Amino acid sequence: MKPAEAKAIIEDCRKRGYIEHDGVFYPPAQAARRQLSQAALKPARKPKAKRTGWIDDELNIRNKEKYQDMFMRLVKIELGLSVWPEFYFTLEKQYRFDYAIPTGCNNTMLKIAIEVEGGIWAKGNSGHSSGTGIARDMKKSTLANVNGWTLIRCTPTDIKNQPGKVIDLIKKSIENKK
């Protein structure tokens, strides 16, 4: 028997209510006597996360709930803006920003992204300093710009020791969007 024929027979059995248990298909009446049901035999699947590439994206919501650091708190205190860590900004690729400020206080669209360029200090074939890593970062930056994001690139030292400079850049970005 050809695999396509076997698949068709199995599909037909399922449509007619047969229930598979340990590789055996039982007719509906026999399955009822044995107290078998398709729901009981299959483990419940976790539904896929809602993916939008925006603030209603379930991965972004999870990341926002999971991560909180001093830089995010400082931006909230200084500017009253909510910062999203590890923000997926597109569905085209699995690209994400280190930090994103997608909206302002009154839900105005800001689309400001902060990328912390720590990989530039790594030697050898690390993720960001290799040729493929640099090319990937270039594609990511281009995709962000094409989709209306303002990209602020800084070093880990800027975030930790001089966050005021990054906050000033965020302020200037907001002013330029007006």
Residue 121 confidence (pLDDT): 59
Q: Is 96 exposed, middle or buried (0-12, 13-18, 19+ CB in 10 A)?
A: buried
Residue 148 confidence (pLDDT): 95
Tell me the C-alpha distance between 8 and 28, whole Å. 19
Residue 39 confidence (pLDDT): 56
Domain positions in the chain: 3-41, 58-177
Residue 93 confidence (pLDDT): 85
Residue 125 confidence (pLDDT): 54
Three-state secondary structure of the chain: CCHHHHHHHHHHHHHCCCEEECCEEECHHHHHHCCCCHHHHCCCCCCCCCCCCCCCCHHHHHHHHHCCCHHHHHHHHHHCCCCEEEEECCCCCCCEEEEEEEECCCCCEEEEEEEECHHHHCCCCCCCCCHHHHHHHHHHHHHHHHCCCEEEEECHHHHHHCHHHHHHHHHHHHHHHC
pLDDT above 90 coverage of the chain, percent: 55
Per-residue pLDDT tens digits of the chain, which is 178 residues long: 788 888 888 889 888 888 887 778 888 888 777 776 655 555 557 778 889 999 999 999 999 999 999 999 999 999 999 999 999 999 888 899 999 999 998 889 999 999 998 766 565 555 666 778 888 889 999 999 999 999 999 999 999 999 999 999 999 999 998 7
- Find out whether 117 and 79 touch, Cβ atoms under 8 Å: no
Q: What is the CATH number of domain 58-177?
A: 3.40.960.10
The gap between the terminal CA atoms of the chain, to the nearest Å, is: 69
Residue 36 confidence (pLDDT): 66
- Find out whether 85 and 124 touch, Cβ atoms under 8 Å: no
Structure tokens at 116: 């912390």
Residue 2 confidence (pLDDT): 86
pTM of the predicted model as reported, rounded to 2 decimal places:
0.71
